[in-house]
A = this chain, B = another copy of it.
């Protein structure tokens, strides 16, 4: 597994919340340390293979998943096969919030990933002791909604150039790590389906951004950004 991936070996082997990198920013932050110890022993961890679905469209998910490492795409199809990616899910984010309704999209791993899962009934149970959990879930839904609305702005009003730049900035924000170089966990087709563009248009737009000097290098799953320009189209 190359080290540019979102999935670190460290986490793969750990299996305990104490070393979880995303714990503090996630749901678990509302639970006190002793309780966490307890949960840590009973909670299920899953390692998800590349391409595997965490939740599937039309099914009701009994579990809520927290992505520990890896990236997922949320995919939705129209009857005639047109595919839209409605979002990507990064570490610390949640899949399967709804405990009642059937999911409208499928969540597929883009790379080998780690998630931990809580059954909705268990969450409901411990929410008596930790009422913050429900507040967190409400807040989380709100954040998701903002993401969706940003996406709506992008699809409704932005040009191809703007969309690609927005997308690169999105990834940049997630990957504060390796500076100037961005790793794309997803294929061109995934990106195009997220941006509401055709594969070819995306490719051409990337090429044009390189020619403009916005990007330094575009090669496979890596993009080097020209550090001086702040992507200000």
Chain A residues near B (Cβ < 8 Å): 76, 78, 82-84, 86, 97-98, 100-101, 104-105, 134-135, 137-139, 141-146, 148-149, 151-153, 155-157, 193, 196
Contacts and interface: CB of A to CB of B under 8 A. Distances in A.
A151 B157 CA distance: 13
Q: Is the interface of A mostly helix, strand, loop or mixed?
A: helix
A153 B98 contact: no
Q: How many copies does the complex hold?
A: 2
A30 to B, nearest CB: 13
Given A98-B142, A101-B143, A101-B146, 15 more contacts: A78-B157, A83-B157, A100-B139, A104-B146, A134-B135, A137-B138, A138-B141, A141-B142, A141-B144, A141-B145, A144-B145, A145-B145, A148-B152, A152-B155, A157-B196
A88 to B, nearest CB: 13
Contacts of A135: 134
B97 A153 contact: no
A153 B101 contact: no
A152 B86 contact: yes
Contacts of A86: 149, 152-153
B149 A149 contact: no
A224 to B, nearest CB: 27
A131 B72 CA distance: 32
Contacts of A134: 134-135, 138
A98 B78 CA distance: 31
Contacts of A146: 101, 104
A153 B78 contact: yes
Of all A-B residue pairs in the complex, the 9 with the closest CB atoms, nearest first, are: A141-B141, A148-B148, A156-B196, A155-B155, A134-B134, A98-B142, A84-B156, A82-B157, A155-B156
Nearest to A128: B131
A153 B83 CA distance: 9
Contacts of A137: 138
A82 B162 CA distance: 13
